[in-house]
Structure 1
């Protein structure tokens, strides 16, 4: 007898798993879009190059690791991910999380963390947890983004004040304190050179789009600074030698004595990778008609991308909102654009590793500073601050906690805070209202109370509703109107049963009117219907309930 449900579940599981795998349908539009896809791939590859290098350095690892991540993870996520246009690689948010991990556990721990985090994200996708991001409110997302932008900006200050790329890990793990420490101990002569380099890059990035949106301002600025650093006796530190090929894949060191201490950092990395990737895919789906995205498959793809990057000594990967947006705006409509963006970066490694190694770190810091500023949309911030007080507080609270403590903690607290205020607002929509009896008044009507329930009845409003109904005095019959009742949870149903019992104990007859079919089973299970004095005290229309109440009052008056 149980074979059919078992077969149905097996079929559903098979369909679900099949939806997580690549298929020919992923490339159905390539014949029509391949030219635009290739052009978009080149464009986003040019944009991604300085960001991959910069985020690799900013994470405390190396520019090489950032470039490897953009190549390996970029290809894997494009093939296996749930979005047709998602561009994946190292991101600023991930660099923010990795820097304290590197400071505490060393550079060698990053590949291991990427491996563990990749497995966790992959499992989350297989478990169908991709829709979880929809529970994060918009103000929390924007507060998180603002906090990340501030941290990315502040993380560049140590790079501007020293000649060593690894020195960012020598300061506090808190970006604000590290920036102050770096400025306090700065070599003013070196700082002047670094600020000059950063200013050139920032000016190019700001002015280039005014000439033409396709002009790569960041690369132009980096090229100018690099040439000047080569021609002038500059003290600026540089990226250093890069390999002219990708390293061979190797499994990261899995030391049983160290693994337990890396679980918590890996959980943070996995949560961030999932959240950022799903948000990026959702934004891309809203930007253009690129087809629906599969959130569960997106997690599978990003998990595999981090796993692949870890084998080559790369960083944990996530979907990159800015690069994905460039891809869509440049005409990318299929996975070919994401794959080709990685090919462009691979060609840079194979052909131009030498020139790339001469880029000053201050130039990369300039790219990331401008990128951080552009992450914050003033119109968005203004709209949130002018919305509701609860949303404004959730936005600011998330941003402050992100900068001060921890990214994932900030998101959790922001969601909890927003949820508390949402429940509070929802509870205010719950209420009871005493109504006049319909039709012409009759003697004894003053001994009948019609109480209408409005909105939801759930745990947050249950006690208040109980007190309001129980405060009704001087009546013999109470008609509880349920037709306007919306959401009811177990607590709300239980409190309704308590209301009926409390009134009946006082000798008040309770009639229920308009119990909706969707609430009937819950009312029956919790005992609301069983609390009535008689099964005939349940009505579907108000007129028969009023007639019954009036007959009850007449009998009571005659008996008196």
Structure 2
């Protein structure tokens, strides 16, 4: 089990055939990742340097230890959205500790085999979450685009509205011009030449234009020219108590985003499937390492992973090269990078947020079913207005409610006619067939089926269970209560056709004990009807015999 979660020589079995393509893909992704790493670091409130460190350290560790051969990890927009309120509430000094805590939680989730849990998240919840994240990323860039900062402690939506209402249009005109230039380059350049990384070209062009024209706008500022020394964050009982909730939220987001990204990458690449548990182990170790080096939590990044796959990557070498390229920037090019305008990074993220949204996917969900459309819209709205993790939880609960309602609607209790010619007393026998799933709502249906205008008197109830597909502890306990209640009213209950997979559960919750006699549990419908008739038709019996 543990060996499966560790790196092995098999990870690089395709390297002799693909190393040239892997190196080229790694360089390409590194160029694409540079402006995004800086932008997400700034957007989170942790700083551009932390974003760059995260891309280097976490990207390298996740590449070696993760469960996907082509996944590229680093700072992402979703994580920046979560971190911003944590920085505002607990200060910048809390990020190292919360990053390490979150990494340990993700690591434990991988070791304990929780990686496959992401497959249970419904599609409308995932897409609603993605739409909400895209909207928040865009809204968080509005202050930088208007040459100001957002009010501390405010949620994203009201803070954005406050910035627009109180904008200094003299200063905002300059930064909005930079944003417009970056957006235009990113949108038009792919139509001219797809091989040129549009985000990097846009940032470089905007930086040169600002310097040549002498436009007074805020820039990234000084960056460290080397990686910081690793330092374990200081932790005491009070800090752990205050930050544990935030760490759990970050860990949940990191696990969800990384596994979804790895799953998408597996469908895009010819490098084989991914191991979800090992992916969590790799992402957990990546966040721990990032926190120790002064970075922020990392996740799998679908945009960079997609670039990696499209560039021909086949092994982990490409993601490793991506980190080495960024490491070269740290040691060789922090001077030019420090001159990048913050508004240029805001423009990159604004365009990126629009590219996260798939209009065709939204159209498909809205045209599917009303319940899925409602789940999608509700998840997106809660994500924007309240909290990301709450949005996923509420979305899953709403989807589960609709799924439960759908299953319950296909469950039925049917009163059938007894087969064969009618006999005296047959009107007192209720033959009920349970279909679909056994829910607590079935109790009322059984009661209604037993007593109606056409059957004023019932002495025996035969419950057919051979067509029952789903049964859980709640349903089994409900059936036990039904049997007990009917027997207390003097109505004999006979159960027919218990499926093998349901027998142990029914026995454990006391369904069989509630029957009047063990002979009232039968496999044959003919035997069940014949025995039921013996309870309504006088037959000779021996003293003390059980019925």
Structure 1 length-normalised TM: 0.91
Name the counterpart of 2:443: 463
Match of residue 5 from structure 1: none
User: 1, 10, 17: which is aligned to 1:32?
Assistant: 17
After TM superposition, the structure 1 = structure 2 runs for residues 231-246 of structure 1, keeping only pairs within 5 Å, are 231-246=212-227
Residue in 1 aligned with 2:67?
Answer: 82
Q: Which of 120, 144, 154 is the equivalent residue of 2:139?
A: 154
Q: 2:33 aligns with which of 48, 55, 75?
A: 48
Instruction: Quote the residue 2:106 is aligned against.
Output: 121
Matches within 5 A, 1:519-534: 519-534=502-517
Q: Which stretch of the first structure deviates more once superposed, 49-58 or 380-389?
A: 380-389
Residues 222-262 of structure 1, C-alpha deviations (whole Å, 9 max, x = no match): 12111111110201111122232222222234355544322
Q: How does 1:210-289 map to 2 (within 5 A)?
A: 210-254=191-235, 257-289=238-270
Quote the offset at 1:556 in angstroms: 6.5
Residues in 2 aligned to 1:132 and 1:361: alpha-carbon distance in whole angstroms: 38
The answer for the alignment partner of 2:161 in structure 1 is 180
Q: Report whether the alignment pairs 1:304 with 2:289.
A: no
- Partner Cα distance (2:539, 2:175) in 1: 93
* Equivalent residue number for residue 510 of structure 1: 493
Determine if the alignment matches structure 1 residue 482 to structure 2 residue 465.
Answer: yes
- Alpha-carbon distance in structure 1 between the residues aligned to 2:163 and 2:238: 34
Deviation at 1:18?
1.3
- Counterpart of 2:544 in structure 1 is none
Q: 1:525 to 1:210 in 2, by over 3 A?
A: same
Structure-2 change in CA distance of 1:465 and 1:490 (3 Å): farther
Alignment-derived partner of residue 523 in structure 2:
540
CA contact (8 A) 1:160 1:191 kept: yes
Q: What do residues 92-127 of structure 1 show as CA deviations (whole Å, max 9, x unaligned)?
A: 011111111112222222122112211222122222
Q: Quick one: structure 1 residues 441 and 259, their matched pair in 2 at CA, closer, same or farther if it must change by over 3 Å?
A: closer
8 Å Cα contact 1:103-1:173 kept in structure 2: no
**1-side partners of 2:514 and 2:224: how far apart?**
78
Greater fraction of residues in helix: 1
1:367 matched to which residue of 2? 348
User: Aligned partners of 2:176 and 2:304: how far apart in 1?
Assistant: 26
Please give the root-mean-square deviation of Cα atoms over the aligned residues, in Å. 2.1
Q: Which runs of 4+ in 1 moved over 6 A?
A: none
- In structure 2, C-alpha distance between the alignment counterparts of 1:458 and 1:475, rounded to whole Å: 23
Q: Is the 8 A contact 1:523 1:529 kept in 2?
A: yes
- Structure 1 position 536, deviation (Å): 2.5
1:470 Cα offset (Å): 4.4
Cα 1:476/1:556, change in 2 over 3 Å:
farther
